[in-house]
A and B are shown apart, each in its own frame.
Chain A
Amino acid sequence: MIRSSAAEMAAKLVTGEVTSVALTQAHLDRIASVDADVHAFLHVDTEGALAQAAAIDAKRAKGEKLSPLAGVPLALKDVMAQKGIPTTCGSKILEGWRPPYDSTVVANLKKNDIVILGKTNMDEFAMGSSTENSAYGPTHNPWDLTRIPGGSGGGSSAALAAFEAPLAIGTDTGGSIRQPAAVTGTVGVKPTYGGVSRYGLVAFSSSLDQAGPCARTVLDAALLHEAIAGHDPKDSTSIKAPVPQVVAAAKSGDVKGMKIGVVKELNGDGYQAGVRARFEESLELLAKAGAEIVEVSAPNFEYALAAYYLIAPSECSSNLARFDAMRYGLRVGDVDGAAAESVMNLTREVGFGKEVKRRIILGTYALSSGYYDAYYGSAQKVRTLITQDFTNAFTKADVLVSPTCPTTAFKIGEKANDPLAMYLNDIATIPVNMAGIGGMSLPSGLADEDGLPVGFQIMSPVMKDERMYSVGAALEAALLSKWGAPLLDKAPIMGGSK
C-alpha cells in the first residue's frame, strides 16, 4: 500500500478500499521501521496525524465532498511553521520552538485534508546541498545509506524514496527541491516565484525562496501543487493570477509540436558521464514523443553561481538578524547584568552552525559600505543578464532542459570541508531561482558507473508551470514503458516489508 502513488491512494480512499487512518498508520509504521537508518524526520506527529486522518474519514463517511488528495499523508519540511508543532529549520537556535500560527502552505494542506505526518530534516536554514548542515545530524539516501540525499530538503526527498510518505513539501532557494529529487530518484518542483505563498516559511533569501511539491510521480506533484498554490494576501510577493493548470497538463502529457531547448552551457565538462548519457537518452525519448529538440545558449549562466553566493548570503545576513534571543528561540548568557548585545552574540555563536555563520559573514561583507557595488551590486546586474538569457531562450523554445545536477549522490562527509565544491552541486539549478521561473526535476534513470539516480531538469517561463508538467509527464511515461516498472523498484528494499 505504501508503494502506491498518492493518486492511487486517493482513489482507494474514495472507493473505501482503505481508510485514511489505516493509510496514515501504515506510513507511521514504515517510519518506525526505517527512519532510524534514514533519519528523514526531525519530528513525527503520530497523534496529530491520526486525529486528522480520523476526522477526514468521518467527513467522508458523512458524504462530504472532499479535495482530490483528501486523506493522503505528507511529510513537511521543517522550514514551514505549523501551529503547535516543533519547527526548528534544522537549527539549534529554534530548538523547542512551537509556532503559534500556521504557514499558508500548512493552512492549505489542512484545508485540502492532506494528513501531515511530521517535519523533515534539512540543512540548517536551508543552506546546503547535502542535509549534512542540519544541527540534528544528517539524513541518509535510501539508495545507499552512506550517501547524501541532497539538500537542503534531503529529509523530504529521502522520506519519499524510503516510502515513508507519498508526498512532501520542499522549499527551493537555489535547488533545494530539485537537487534532492534528482539524487533520490523522486520528483520535485519549484513553481514560479510567487506561485506559492511564503507566509510562515522561515526566510533564508526572500527574493529566491519558493515552496513547492515533492512526490514520486509527476501527477502526484501536480495534485499537490494545485493544493498549495494561489494568491495569498499575507505574502505581498505572491502572484495575483489563476494557478496554472498543472494537473490537466500532467494528465495529458502531450508534447507534440513542443519545442524543447537544450541549454548548451548546462552540460558537458564537469558533468558525470552517466548523467550525460541519461540526459541524451531522455532527449531521444522526448523527440520520439513528438517534441522538437533545439539547442539554446545562455552565455551568462556561467556567472550564476557567483551571483547566487552573493545575493543569497546578503539576504540571509539580513533575514537571520531576527534571531536575536529576544522574542523566541534560544537565549544564552542571560546572567544578571548581562547586556543585550552580549546575549545576542553568545546566543548566535551557540545557535548557528558553521555554514550559516559563513554565509552571514559573507553577506555582511557583500553589503558593507565600500564593497556593496563591487559585490552585491554586481551580482544584481548578473541577475538581470541571466533573466535576459532566459527571455531570449524562451523565444526559441517552449521549455528548457538540462541535467538537474552535475553528479549523482556523493558520500556523506566527502565535500563537508570544501564549501566551493559543495556549492557546485547547484550549478544547473540556480539560474531558475535567479529569474524566478519554474523548474522541475524528475528521474531519468541510473548512472551506469555507480547505479545511482540521475535527474532531468525542465524549466518553464513565469506562470507557465503547466509546460514543465506536460514535458515531465511525457518523459515519465516513455521511461516507464522502457523500464517496465518505476525506478524506485530498483532501490534496495529497506525494513523488510513491501
Chain B
Amino acid sequence: MSSLSRDDVAKLAGLARIEMSEEELVALSNEFTVILDAVARVQEVAGADVEATSHPLPLRNVFRTDVVVPSLTPEEALSGAPAQEEQRFRVPQILGEE
C-alpha cells in the first residue's frame, strides 16, 4: 500500500511552490493514501516489454521557416503584469536571500 505522510506532502508542496496550512497537509496526506492505491494499478500491466507513449502523435522536430512576423508590443506584453518599471516586469527580490 502506498501512502504519503504529512511531511512528504509538505516537501512536495515546497517543490511545487504552494504554501499549505497544517489542515491542508493532513487532509491531502489522507486522500493520497486512497488515490495512490487507485493509480498504482498501472504497474500491473506496465511490463518491461511495453514501450512508453508520451504523446498521441508521432511527431519529431517540427520546423518552420525563420520569418520575422509582428509580435506583441512591450505595452501589450506588460499589460497583465502585477508590477512593472521602465518597460520591464518588476519582480520581488531573487538574489541575496539569507
A and B from one complex: yes
Which A residues, 440 to 469, have Cβ-Cβ distances below 8 Å to chain B?
A: 462
Q: Which residues does chain B contribute within 8 Å of A420, judged by CB atoms?
A: 34-35, 38
Minimum C-beta distance from B80 to chain A (A): 3
Alpha-carbon gap, A342 to B17, bound state (A) = 8
**How many residues of B sit at the interface, in one of the four size bands?**
35 or more
Asked whether A31 is an interface residue with its Cβ less than 8 Å from the other chain, the reply is no
Nearest residue, chain A, Cβ from B75: A100
Which A residues, 361 to 393, have Cβ-Cβ distances below 8 Å to chain B?
A: 361-362, 364-366, 368, 374-375, 377-385, 387
Asked whether A492 is an interface residue with its Cβ less than 8 Å from the other chain, the reply is no
Query: How many Cβ-Cβ contacts under 8 Å join chain A to chain B?
Result: 169
The DSSP consensus for interface residues of chain A is: helix
Q: Which residues does chain A contribute within 8 Å of B77, judged by CB atoms?
A: 100
Which B residues, 1 to 41, have Cβ-Cβ distances below 8 Å to chain A?
A: 4, 8-9, 12-13, 15-20, 24, 28, 31-32, 34-35, 38-41
Minimum C-beta distance from B22 to chain A (A): 13
Q: Which residues does chain A contribute within 8 Å of B64, judged by CB atoms?
A: 233
Q: Which residues does chain B contribute within 8 Å of A306, judged by CB atoms?
A: 38-42
Q: Which residues does chain B contribute within 8 Å of A374, judged by CB atoms?
A: 40, 43
Q: Are B17 and A382 in contact (CB under 8 A)?
A: no
Asked whether A199 is an interface residue with its Cβ less than 8 Å from the other chain, the reply is no
Q: Which residues does chain B contribute within 8 Å of A58, judged by CB atoms?
A: none
Report if A380-B52 is in contact (Cβ < 8 Å); known contacts: A328-B80, A334-B82, A339-B94: yes
Asked whether B45 is an interface residue with its Cβ less than 8 Å from the other chain, the reply is yes
Q: Which of A100, A303, A326, A436 contacts B91 (CB 8 A)?
A: A326
The DSSP consensus for interface residues of chain B is: loop
Minimum C-beta distance from B42 to chain A (A): 4
Nearest residue, chain A, Cβ from B72: A100
Q: Are A236 and B17 in contact (CB under 8 A)?
A: no
Q: Are B80 and A382 in contact (CB under 8 A)?
A: no
Which B residues, 30 to 62, have Cβ-Cβ distances below 8 Å to chain A?
A: 31-32, 34-35, 38-47, 50-57, 59, 62
Q: Which residues does chain B contribute within 8 Å of A352, judged by CB atoms?
A: 18
Asked whether B76 is an interface residue with its Cβ less than 8 Å from the other chain, the reply is yes
Q: Which of B28, B50, B94 contacts A358 (CB 8 A)?
A: B28
> Which of A3-11, A181-189, A252-260, A343-351 forms contacts with chain B?
A343-351
Q: Are B89 and A327 in contact (CB under 8 A)?
A: yes
Q: Which residues does chain B contribute within 8 Å of A233, judged by CB atoms?
A: 64
Alpha-carbon gap, A390 to B69, bound state (A) = 41
Q: Which residues does chain B contribute within 8 Å of A462, judged by CB atoms?
A: 56
Q: Are A384 and B12 in contact (CB under 8 A)?
A: no
Report if A340-B93 is in contact (Cβ < 8 Å); known contacts: A361-B13, A384-B50, A436-B57: yes
Asked whether B79 is an interface residue with its Cβ less than 8 Å from the other chain, the reply is yes
Q: Are B34 and A365 in contact (CB under 8 A)?
A: no
Q: Supply 19 A–B pairs (Cβ within 8 Å), ascending by A.
A: A97-B80, A100-B77, A100-B80, A236-B62, A327-B89, A328-B80, A328-B81, A329-B80, A331-B83, A345-B17, A348-B17, A366-B39, A374-B43, A379-B39, A380-B54, A381-B45, A382-B45, A385-B50, A435-B56
- B binding-site residues for A, Cβ under 8 Å: 4, 8-9, 12-13, 15-20, 24, 28, 31-32, 34-35, 38-47, 50-57, 59, 62, 64, 72, 76-77, 79-83, 89, 91-94, 97
Given A303-B42, A378-B42, 14 more A-B residue pairs with CB atoms under 8 Å apart are: A233-B64, A307-B42, A317-B16, A340-B92, A342-B92, A343-B92, A360-B16, A361-B16, A364-B12, A375-B40, A380-B54, A381-B50, A385-B45, A435-B56
What are the 9 tightest A-B residue pairs by CB atom distance, in nearest-first order?
A436-B56, A328-B80, A331-B82, A378-B46, A380-B52, A349-B19, A100-B76, A381-B46, A236-B62
